[in-house]
């Protein structure tokens, strides 16, 4: 009798547990269905855009309302990047007026954080991209809540990635950096046939674009510091890859670097693994 009673007790317990589990599964299924069928408000700030310093961009928000609420307002704000002007910030469509080149240059040096000395300024790709990008947020208010999205506007700057050496290519802007002082007065002496000018000779960080090969002499007159820059036609030595994935050099280089006086170091270097080490460390660290 006791054995029978115990079996009945286990049977009742099993039935109760089964019922509870079944109710929980039904409840979870119901919640999942509710989530799938939940109506929402989705906001789209539009595709990312491109412009230039001093230029403009038109931003338009689109709200897809599926919960029966109504829109009561829009608000555009800038959340990162070089400060811009947002016109009609409380409308569905806003106009962004980007800062001028001087402001973008100030922002670029904020990212670069160079040492306090006179130099040709190197520019890394991360700092350049971070300076060019400005991000804007739109918040759409409806009777059911506030919903938002972001969009970026890229201002393409007239600078190029560089390592900051004084041997520079022609037709590529060169950015300078001056040691901190009260005022600046840069003078530029050009090679023959050149007609370039500094974009601003009275600022800490002027720039210019060499137009012919030769020596460009820059002197900051207040400090007496002189920098000599040598511009020429740049020629890349690597023109492709062979069937082993190793770099192929330009024959215009190896035709000279192929004798005891000027040995061919490229062939040794390309087989050493140094050419692929960066890719290898990124793909398979």
**How does pLDDT run across 33-76, given as a tens digit for each residue?**
445 556 589 999 999 999 999 999 999 999 999 988 999 999 99
- Report pLDDT for 266: 80
Provide the 3-class DSSP secondary structure of residue 174: strand
Residue 146: band (very low, low, confident or very high) from pLDDT cuts 50, 70, 90: very high
Structural domains of the chain, ranges and CATH numbers in brackets: 41-116+124-155 (2.60.40.10), 167-232 (2.60.40), 238-283 (no CATH)
- What's the token pair of residue 164? 């900051």
Please identify which residue in the block is written with the tokens 């006179």: 118
The pLDDT tens digits for 207-237 are 999 999 999 999 999 999 999 999 998 766 7
Whether 127 contacts 108, CB under 8 Å: yes
Residue 135: pLDDT band (50, 70, 90) is very high
Contacts of residue 221, defined as CB under 8 A and 6 or more positions apart, other chains included, come to: 185, 186, 187
Neighbouring C-beta atoms of residue 85, cutoff 10 Å: 12
Q: What is the pLDDT of residue 2?
A: 44
Tell how strand 174-177 and strand 119-120 pair up: antiparallel
Helix axes 125-132 and 101-112, enclosed angle (nearest 10): 140
pLDDT at 25 over 60: no
Q: Which structure tokens are listed for 261?
A: 């006086």
Q: What angle do CA 94, 99, 102 make, to 5 degrees?
A: 175
The DSSP element (H or E) to which 147 belongs, if any, is: strand 145-155
Is 276 strand, coil or helix? helix
CB 247 within 8 A of CB 240: yes
3-state secondary structure of 189: strand
Closest CA to 213 of 165, 171, 170, 162: 170
Asked whether the beta carbons of 41 and 141 are under 8 A apart, the reply is no
* Residue 32 pLDDT: 52
- Asked if 61 and 45 touch (Cβ cutoff 8 Å), the reply is yes
Alpha helices, DSSP H, located in the chain: 2-37, 101-112, 125-132, 251-254, 266-270, 277-283
Decide if 219 contacts 187 (C-beta within 8 A).
yes
Average pLDDT over residues 127-140: 97
pTM score = 0.71
């Amino acid at each position: 009798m006791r054995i029978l009673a115990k079996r009945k007790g286990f049977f009742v317990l099993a039935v109760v547990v089964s019922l509870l589990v079944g109710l929980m599964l039904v409840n979870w299924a119901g919640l999942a269905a509710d989530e799938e069928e939940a109506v929402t408000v989705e906001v789209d700030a539009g595709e990312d855009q491109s412009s230039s310093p001093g230029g403009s961009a038109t931003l338009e928000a689109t709200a897809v309302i599926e919960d029966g609420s109504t829109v009561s307002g829009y608000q555009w704000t800038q959340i990162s990047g070089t400060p811009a002007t947002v016109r009609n910030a409380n409308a569905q469509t806003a106009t962004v007026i980007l800062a001028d080149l001087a402001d973008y240059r100030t922002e670029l040096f904020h990212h670069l954080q160079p040492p306090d000395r006179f130099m040709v300024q190197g520019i890394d790709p991360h700092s350049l991209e971070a300076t060019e990008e400005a991000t804007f947020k739109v918040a759409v208010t409806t009777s059911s809540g506030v919903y938002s999205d972001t969009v970026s506007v890229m201002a393409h700057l007239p600078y190029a990635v560089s390592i900051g050496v004084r041997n520079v290519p022609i037709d590529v802007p060169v950015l300078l950096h001056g040691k901190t002082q009260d005022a600046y007065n840069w003078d530029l002496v050009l090679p023959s046939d050149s007609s370039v000018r500094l974009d601003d000779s009275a600022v800490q960080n002027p720039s210019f674009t060499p137009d012919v090969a030769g020596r460009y002499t820059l002197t900051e007159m207040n400090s007496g510091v002189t920098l000599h820059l040598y511009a020429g036609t740049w020629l890349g030595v690597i023109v492709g890859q062979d069937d082993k994935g190793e770099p192929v050099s330009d024959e215009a280089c190896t035709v000279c670097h192929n004798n005891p006086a000027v040995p061919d170091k490229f062939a040794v270097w390309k087989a050493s693994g140094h050419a692929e080490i960066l890719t290898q460390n990124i793909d398979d660290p």
